[in-house]
Amino acid sequence: MTQTTEQLTWIAADWGTSNLRIWLMANTGDVLHRISADCGMGSLTPDQFEPALMKLIAEHLPNGRTVPVVICGMAGAKQGWAEAPYSAVPSEPPNATTATRIKTKDSRIDVYILPGMKQNAPADVMRGEETQIAGFLAANPKFDGVICLPGTHTKWVHISAREVVSFRTFMTGELFALIADQSVLRHSTASSDWDAEAFAAAVDDAMSNPATLASKLFSIRAEALLHDQGNAVGRAKVSGLLIGAELAGARPYWLGQNIVILGEDGLSSAYQAALSAQGLPVQTVPSETMTLAGLCAAYLALESKSL
């Protein structure tokens, strides 16, 4: 029996569409071991989730006792391991007391999948982000303002009195990937470099004239053909135009608000730059840290319920 097996108290997991992140946890709250794999929900059928999980954690599990596993994210989607019904806003982010408990073949694990959140009008949903929000609120219980969660589908979330009051999703990240990598603009955006000045100008342009977004995007191709515009500039412009259009649409959320960005370097920095240009003080917090904090809060609620 390894030291990790001896100290293992519970397991936290974030099961996304493309990837799975696992943390083996001690009762002190310390991470004993971290595991990452590309076995996301999108590549699995419901009966493949338990084998995929066990392949990664079996060697660390003790014999003779059951280890709780708390999971957030797409494992609870309709196409996932088992559907964990959404909690409706306004409400506090859900925790493990409202989780879906999974009947497993292996008796060494006791699996709980956290629910996502839904908004009926306008219709919107989230899975996984609610756990990041719960992690942030666990450390900042008096926060009132807006949380921005940049990503493939960026969320703007209004928080008051520890509740998610409302939220809106923007497909900005997915649109960027499609336009920059698959459209005619792929010939003008193939670069790992970045032009901050071009990005800032594009954000301002799109916020001022969001209706011209489609035309401004094509101009990026024309500028490359006619004026040898570099690909770093082109890529920054695509990002700036899309984020600028998003900010124009999300203005009711961020205008005059305290804003926290839960994200990782790169995309988080782009949003911070765009918002700071509007004269807004912006705090950034690593999203993975908040995911784990939210899973820890869910586990503590589960433990309290069982006492």
Fold match between 3-127 and 169-285? yes
Looking at domain 3-127, its CATH superfamily turns out to be 2-keto-3-deoxy-galactonokinase, substrate binding domain (3.30.420.300)
Of 123, 95, 278, which Cα lies nearest the Cα of 204? 278
Q: Is the pLDDT of residue 1 over 60?
A: no
Structure tokens given for 62: 């003790």
pLDDT at 306 over 80: no
- Locate tokens 């003008």: which residue? 188
Q: Where are the domains of the chain?
A: 3-127, 169-285
Per-residue model confidence (pLDDT) at position 271: 97
CB 86 within 8 A of CB 99: no
Confidence of residue 254 (pLDDT cuts 50, 70, 90): very high
> Given this model, what pLDDT does residue 214 score?
97
CA distance 142 to 139: 9
Residue 95 per-residue DSSP state: -
For 263-303, write each residue's pLDDT tens digit: 988 899 999 999 999 999 999 999 999 999 999 999 999 88
What is the CATH code of the structural domain delimited by 169-285?
A: 3.30.420.310
CA dihedral 43, 25, 154, 174 (to 10 degrees): -30
Query: Looking at residues 222-237, what average pLDDT do you find?
Result: 98
Distances (CA, A) of 242 to 132, 209, 248: 24, 12, 10
